[in-house]
Amino acid sequence: MPRAADPTPDQPITRTVLLDARLRQVKATGRVEIREIRILPGHAAGLHVHNGPVLGSILAGSATYQIEGQPASVLQPGDVFFEPEGERIARFDAGTDGVTFLAYFLLSPGQEAQLTMLAP
């Protein structure tokens, strides 16, 4: 995962793109809801979908993240992720130290964030 370069006196501000999430369709976004989410050590979130795109960043701990049909990856502090609207999220399992992350929910006017649990 790319990391921002260290600033220097000659370049006091650095900027690095960590994630460039492409939405499948144009989404009228009336607001963004940001949640801090904590999951106990070793807890598996379970197969689920969101009713809108979710972007996030790991603050502490770790999580195994997997969109169904794609390879799993382990997210560490500073890593970012994207859960596309309607995609089946096979895993978001907290590591042995648990996980704390920020999740950014892009919501249309009048829409509330919803997570739907699915049977495996």
Q: What is the mean pLDDT of residues 93-112?
A: 97
Q: Would you say residue 2 has pLDDT above 80?
A: no
Cα dist from 26 to 12, 18, 23, 75, 105, whole Å = 36, 21, 7, 28, 15
What is the band of 4 on the pLDDT scale with cuts at 50, 70, 90? confident
CA–CA dist 104, 19 (Å, integer): 13
Q: What are the φ/ψ torsions at residue 95 (nearest 5 degrees)? A: -75, -175
Q: What are the φ/ψ torsions at residue 36 (nearest 5 degrees)? A: -95, 125
* Residue extents of the structural domains in the chain: 34-110
Looking at residue 120, what is its pLDDT?
Answer: 82
Cα dist from 48 to 4, 16, 30, 76, 115, whole Å = 32, 30, 24, 21, 7
* Structural fold of domain 34-110: Jelly Rolls (2.60.120)
pTM greater than the 0.85 cutoff? yes
